Amino acid sequence: MKIQSTATSPTVLISRQRLEERVAELAQEINRDYADTELLVCIGVLKGSVFFMVDLLKQVEVPVAVDFFQTSSYVGTSARGEVRIRKDLDLFIRDRDVLLVEDIVDTGYTLRTILDLLRFRGAKSVKLCALLDKIEAREVDVPIDYSGFQIGNVFVVGYGLDFDERYRNLPFIGALADDTAPGPESGNRQS
Ligand code: IMP
Ligand code: MG
């Protein structure tokens, strides 16, 4: 993929410190809820969830296995909501407790598709942990069991989230200026 260069810097929406505090709280909730779990299969959606997942799992004290999906979706006219699996899991999840870890729930199509697939494959339990919940943008219902922050309908970058593959390494969540951010109908989207 060609990476374009743009010069605008995002403004801080959620600071590094607030991220650290909230991630620690989410890890405590997970530790409490899964205290008796023999093995928790934690599944991230590439690539956006990686920074969040690493920080979260370093504070999770129950035994975990780690795996990843990669998806792409096309936000356009006829294919709206159609999500493709570009990389499937390596692990089998039948009868396993599964925690899906995602950077952001926007329209909800990606998570809806993955949650349905995990249940179809016979996971014992499936819960969702999402750092950001863009609730006003939701088109399909996705219950979030562990939710970091609710944000407005703005395009955000940083802490794993990208715009055209840039900004993932920012240590905070930032908002792009309106004239820089992609519009709501922005074509092929990868996580
Ligand atoms: P969905 O619309 O809930 O299916 O979200 C699909 C994917 O779009 C997410 O996993 C993100 O990778 C990406 N995405 C949605 N909103 C944003 C945003 O504000 N910034 C960066 N990526 C986003
Ligand atoms: Mg992305």
The 10 Å CB-count burial string (b at 16+, else e) for 135-151 is: eebeeeebebebbbbeb
**Residue with CA at minimum distance from ligand 1 atom 7:** 191
Return the half-sphere exposure (C-beta side, CA atoms, 13 A cut-off) of residue 128.
24
Site to substitute for ligand 1 among 72, 101, 106, most atoms within 8 A of C-beta: 106
Give the pLDDT of residue 189: 73
Q: Which domains does the chain have, with CATH numbers?
A: 21-74+81-151 (3.40.50.2020)
**Residue with CA at minimum distance from ligand 1 atom 19:** 155
Q: Are the CB atoms for 40 and 54 separated by under 8 Å?
A: no
Give the pLDDT of residue 38: 97
The residues annotated with a catalytic role in the active site are 106
Cα dihedral across residues 180, 184, 187, 189: positive or negative: positive
174 CA distance to ligand 2 middle (Å): 14
Q: Which residues of the chain have pLDDT under 50?
A: none
Give the pLDDT of residue 146: 98
Give the C-alpha separation, 9 to 26, whole Å: 29
Distances in whole angstroms, Cα of residue 61 to Cα of each of 30, 35, 108: 9, 8, 29
% of the chain residues with pLDDT over 70: 90
Site to substitute for ligand 1 among 51, 73, 80, 104, most atoms within 8 A of C-beta: 104
Scanning the chain, the segments in alpha helix (DSSP H) are 16-33, 50-57, 109-120
98 CA distance to ligand 2 middle (Å): 23
**Residue with CA at minimum distance from ligand 1 atom 12:** 191
Give the pLDDT of residue 6: 55
Q: Are the CB atoms for 132 and 163 separated by under 8 Å?
A: no
- Alpha-carbon dihedral angle through residues 90, 45, 140, 133, given to the nearest 10 degrees: 150
Give the C-alpha separation, 109 to 4, whole Å: 27
Give the C-alpha separation, 98 to 140, whole Å: 21
Give the pLDDT of residue 73: 79
3 CA distance to ligand 1 middle (Å): 18
140 CA distance to ligand 2 middle (Å): 19
Q: Which residues contact ligand 1 via a Cβ below 6 A?
A: 45, 48, 73, 103-111, 155-157, 161, 189, 191
